[in-house]
């Protein structure tokens, strides 16, 4: 299947540049997998759209301030996105522009000296700090890693520090937000629990693999590198209890789907996971765990669009996206949400 079959037209003005006034104030498009019917709702309706007994699973990874603005020895600007620790003083990073970050180059970030140690085949660089740790650099000089389609991504506002993070974020490690969870408020989580809906957590640290463009010409050739993930014994047992009783497993976000489906054995039994979520989910995947998916709207030709198309069907997803465009839903990280049931 050609990757071009997962394209769609999106007016640029529908790309959300700021979050909704309130987290649960976004719109919610409900898509029925069985028949393709869509319904326009708001996210505040979610407690009425879920059922008592539903097992909701969220990704509790916390976004780190991974973006650092630096300059080279000539004083020219360089943007760094630290994506993976190698040791205390060296991380892999995405860089822009790459020509200023050749191996051996020296950089400065607010007086901190950095050196480009190596260039990996995928274009990332190994960046080392001459004195101190990279984590300390991020804590003192790092910025929220807003995606580049948000015009102010290099100059986040104070609001971004709060809103580009879920209210239940706990374990630091992501370089992009698990955006489906951005819509939840503490009050809504309490309302869901009061309605008899279980909420459990997994952790997947979102890395560049999640948001890199698909470079393969065919869907079948596309592979996503593994991402650090944890699924506890308690969550595995809760999911297995729900499935054994015929209750729905509701995944909040594509990252949660990847953890749950990666942790499922060939028989479908969910086991604890402490390591890496390796599964690439694309059309043709047989879902063993997830019954319902809450997600945002995704980029054309992206691995995340392939995942939701695998879950609901390519034509139904693209039809739903066309409906969302016609109804002027807001797209991408700070945009509206979709519930696929």
In tens, the pLDDT along 292-313 reads 999 999 999 999 999 999 999 9
2-51 pLDDT, tens digit each: 999 999 999 999 999 999 999 999 999 999 999 999 999 999 999 999 99
Q: Got the DSSP string for 177-212?
A: --GGGGG--HHHHHHHHHTT-EEEEEEE---HHHHS
Residue 216 shares a structural domain with residue 329? yes
Q: Exposed, middle or buried by CB within 10 Å (0-12, 13-18, 19+), for 33?
A: middle
Residue 147 lies in a domain: no
Report CA-CA distances (Å) from 104 to 79, 82, 101, 123, 127: 17, 18, 8, 15, 10
| pLDDT at site 90 | 97
Q: Got the DSSP string for 125-184?
A: EEEEESSS-HHHHHHHH-B----TTSTTTTS--HHHHHHSS-TT--EEEESS--GGGGG-
Question: Sign of the CA dihedral 195, 196, 200, 206?
Answer: negative
Q: How far is CA 54 from the centre of its chain?
A: 22
The overall average pLDDT reported for the chain is: 95
Residue 264 lies in a domain: yes
Residue 217 shares a structural domain with residue 298? yes
Residue 56 shares a structural domain with residue 17? yes
Residue 79 shares a structural domain with residue 41? no
Mean pLDDT across the stretch 182-189? 98
The CATH number of the domain holding residue 111 is 2.40.10.240
Please give the model's pTM, rounded to 2 decimal places.
Answer: 0.95
The CATH number of the domain holding residue 35 is 3.40.1780.10
Report the 10 Å Cβ neighbour count for 126: 17
Angle at 89 between CA 87 and CA 90, to 5 degrees: 65
Residue 7 shares a structural domain with residue 91? no
Residue 148 lies in a domain: no
Residue 182 lies in a domain: yes
| pLDDT at site 71 | 96
Mean pLDDT across the stretch 280-288? 95
Q: φ, ψ for residue 183 (rounded to 5)?
A: -80, -15
Domain that holds residue 79: 67-142
Residue 135 shares a structural domain with residue 11? no
Q: Are 330 and 41 in contact (CB under 8 A)?
A: no
Residue 166 shares a structural domain with residue 251? yes
Residue 91 lies in a domain: yes
Q: How many domains is the chain partitioned into structurally?
A: 2
Residue 150 lies in a domain: no
- Using the predicted structure, report yes or no on whether residue 212 has a pLDDT greater than 80: no
Residue 208 lies in a domain: yes
Q: Comparing C-alpha atoms, which of 24, 291, 274, 71 is closest to residue 167?
A: 24
- Using the predicted structure, report yes or no on whether residue 208 has a pLDDT greater than 90: no
Residue 134 shares a structural domain with residue 234? no
Residue 190 shares a structural domain with residue 289? yes
- Using the predicted structure, report yes or no on whether residue 85 has a pLDDT greater than 90: yes
Distance CA 255, CA 266 (A): 20
Does residue 326 sit in helix, strand or coil?
helix
Residue 193 shares a structural domain with residue 117? no
Residue 200 shares a structural domain with residue 272? yes
Residue 152 lies in a domain: no
Helices vs. strands in the chain: H and E counts, helices first: 9, 17
End-to-end CA distance of the chain: 25
Q: How far is CA 331 from the centre of its chain?
A: 14
- Using the predicted structure, report yes or no on whether residue 128 has a pLDDT greater than 90: yes
- Using the predicted structure, report yes or no on whether residue 272 has a pLDDT greater than 80: yes
User: Pick from 142, 177, 208: which residue ends a domain?
Assistant: 142
| pLDDT at site 122 | 85
Distance CA 58, CA 302 (A): 22
- Using the predicted structure, report yes or no on whether residue 76 has a pLDDT greater than 90: yes
Beta bridge partners of 78: 70
| pLDDT at site 268 | 83
Beta bridge partners of 56: 199, 250
């Amino acid at each position: 299947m050609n990757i071009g079959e997962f394209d769609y037209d999106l007016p640029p003005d529908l790309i959300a540049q700021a979050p909704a006034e309130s987290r649960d104030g976004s719109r919610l498009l409900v898509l029925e997998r069985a028949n393709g019917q869509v319904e326009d709702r708001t996210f505040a309706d979610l407690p009425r759209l879920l059922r008592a007994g539903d097992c909701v699973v969220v990704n509790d990874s916390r976004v780190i301030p991974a973006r650092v603005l630096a300059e080279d020895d000539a004083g020219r600007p360089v943007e760094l996105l630290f994506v993976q620790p190698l040791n205390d003083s060296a991380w892999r990073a995405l860089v822009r522009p790459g020509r200023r970050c050749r191996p051996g180059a020296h950089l400065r970030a607010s007086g901190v000296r950095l050196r480009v140690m190596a260039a990996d085949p995928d274009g990332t660089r190994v960046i080392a700090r001459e004195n101190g740790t990279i984590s300390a650099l991020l804590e003192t000089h790092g910025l929220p890693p807003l995606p580049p389609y948000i015009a102010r991504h290099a100059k986040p506002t104070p609001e971004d520090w709060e809103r580009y993070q879920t209210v239940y974020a706990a374990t630091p490690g992501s370089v992009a937000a698990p955006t489906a969870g951005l819509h939840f408020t503490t009050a809504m989580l309490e309302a869901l629990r009061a309605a008899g809906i279980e909420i459990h957590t997994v952790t997947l640290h979102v890395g560049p693999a999640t948001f890199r463009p698909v470079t393969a010409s065919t869907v079948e050739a596309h592979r996503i590198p593994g991402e650090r993930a944890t699924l506890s014994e308690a969550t595995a047992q809760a999911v297995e209890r729900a499935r054994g009783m015929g209750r729905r497993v509701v995944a909040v976000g594509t990252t949660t789907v990847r953890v749950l489906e990666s942790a499922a054995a060939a028989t479908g039994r969910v086991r604890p996971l402490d390591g890496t979520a390796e599964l690439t989910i694309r059309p043709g995947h047989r879902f063993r765990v997830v019954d319902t998916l809450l997600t945002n709207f995704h980029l054309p030709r992206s691995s995340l669009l392939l995942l939701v198309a695998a879950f609901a069907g390519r034509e139904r997803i693209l039809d739903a996206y066309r409906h969302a465009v016609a109804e002027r839903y807001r797209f991408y990280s700070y945009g509206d949400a979709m519930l696929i049931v």
